[in-house]
Amino acid sequence: MRKRVVITGLGGICGLGTNTSAIWDEMRNGRSAIGPITNSELHDLKVRVGCEIKTLPEHGIERKQLVSMDRFSLLATIAAREAAQQAGLTSNEANTYRMGAIVGVGVCGWEAIEENYRAILLEGKNRAGIFTVPKVMPGAAAGQVSMHLGLRGPVFGITSACSSSNHAITSAIDQIRLGRADVMLAGGTDAPLVWGILKGWEALRVLSPDTCRPFSADRQGLVLGEGAGMAVLESYEHAVARGATILAEIAGAGLSADASDIVAPTIEGPEAAMRACLADAGLNPEDVDYLNAHGTGTKANDQIETAAIKRVFGDHAYKLSVSSTKSMHAHCLGASGALEMIACVMAIREGVVPPTANFRQADPDCDLDITPNVARERKVRAALSNGFAFGGTNAVLAFKAA
């Protein structure tokens, strides 16, 4: 019999708020944090809309560690510490090698990369900063979390673009079920609001000029945001033995690949991931009450995701409550799935489905109940969270009441 994996702590930071409680409060109230980018250094942009973290909270991270961290690692460490504190988790010599961290990231340390380009190419300096390599490497966030919390078990980073969080959480589940760890910190982080990344996304012509309107007929594209989300995962037995409060159970995960196109999604890939997730979780389609959609706000993504949901859920698709919280926290790339995990867990705990904000006009190709603009009270027994990425890498998670 395989081990049950439960969540005992959540941590988050994004444009909606600097902790999980604040983020959920804004989600529940349908408030979007998307707006004009205020960073004056981001010049020469055609699209100046994003979801910024205006002010970082007091984090107390020692300067010795801070100087070796890029922003994406700092955000992950802040979120991980909150999750560990909520879980009442501390490491000691008896358990440190049974506790680990896996952090997903989409674009890694571009803040440090741009600082060095500026210093060398514009300011005439003759060398890069001494901590450039440890700052920019994709696995840096996982390493920094482990150092800050004293975790000496399995620690590594995962990168699969927009599904990085869900892949990281899936891998953390596996570490526990395989017996390599009792506790894992897992989630994702990204800080893409830097000049080079924004110019690259501009070139793709998928950025919205105003805001993110998933499933709305007048949607014009996605909006980028920064943030991080982390969860404390542990085996059910371990959580019960130490008297931890169980927030929800991660019932299963489903992975697939489109194997088709680097940017254009298919229906079959997302469909396969959702079916695999339901099977892994032992859930029937009618057991699911809420689905947190990938819902980026692009024309193709929202139509294809709607079609895939219909294939998987059949008639029950029209009884599902669906929403895209990216309409509020924007697309935080490697962090999106972790922030959406918070939405799923809290929907189960409070019986409230967060809305799809900014919705204005029905789209006949996106005709599911997408919970427009206003949250809905509803008992949520189980929830799915979709993560679909460039490269056709799909990862879906299932959560249920423990």
Are 257 and 226 in a shared domain?
Answer: no
> Per mean pLDDT, which range of 30-39, 80-89, 116-125, 321-330 is the poorest?
116-125
Domain boundary among 187, 220, 241: 241
Q: What is the pLDDT of residue 60?
A: 87
pLDDT for the residue 42: 83
The whole domain housing 222 covers 5-241
Average pLDDT rounded to a whole number, residues 299-312: 98
Establish if 247 belongs to a structural domain: no
pLDDT at 164 over 90: yes
- The answer to whether residue 1 scores a pLDDT higher than 90 is no
Region 274-285 average pLDDT: 98
**Residues 122, 172 within the same domain:** yes
User: Would you state the pLDDT for residue 43?
Assistant: 79
Mean pLDDT of all residues in the chain?
Answer: 97
- 3-state SS track over the chain: CCCCEEEEEEEEEECCECCHHHHHHHHHCCCCCCEECCCCCCCCCCCCEEECCCCCCCCCCCHHHHCCCCHHHHHHHHHHHHHHHHHCCCCCCCCHHHEEEEEEECCCCHHHHHHHHHHHHHCCCCCCCCCHHHHHCCCHHHHHHHHHHCCCCCEEEECCHHHHHHHHHHHHHHHHHCCCCCEEEEEEEECCCCHHHHHHHHHHCCECCCCCCCCCCCCCCECEECEEEEEEEEEHHHHHHCCCCCCEEEEEEEEEECCCCCCCCCCHHHHHHHHHHHHHHCCCHHHCCEEECCCCCCHHHHHHHHHHHHHHHHHHHHCCEEECCHHHHCECHHHHHHHHHHHHHHHHHHCEECCECCCCCCCCCCCCCCCECCCEECCCCEEEEEEEECCCEEEEEEEECC
Least confident of 113-127, 224-238, 376-390: 113-127
Same domain? For 335 and 235 the reply is no
* pLDDT exceeds cutoff 90 at 7: yes
CATH number for the domain that contains residue 75: 3.40.47.10
Average pLDDT over residues 194-212: 96
Judge if 173 and 266 occupy the same domain: no
Domain boundary, last residue among 200, 215, 241: 241
Q: What is the pLDDT of residues 18-57, one digit of tens each?
A: 999 999 999 999 999 999 999 878 878 999 999 999 999 9
pLDDT at 40: 79
217 plus 270 within the same structural domain: no
Inform me whether the pLDDT recorded for 261 exceeds 90.
yes
Residue 156 in domain:
yes
Same domain, 228 and 258: no
On the question of pLDDT at 298 being above 90, the answer is yes
Same domain, 281 and 235: no
Q: What is the mean pLDDT of residues 216-244?
A: 98
Q: Do 258 and 231 belong together in one domain? A: no
Mean per-residue pLDDT, 96-105: 98
- Do 230 and 376 lie in one domain? The reply is no
Domain termination residue (choose one: 186, 220, 241): 241
Active site residues: 162, 294, 331
287 lies in the same domain as 162: no
The tally of domains found in the chain comes to 2
Q: Does the pLDDT value for residue 269 go beyond 90?
A: yes
Domain-located, residue 301:
yes
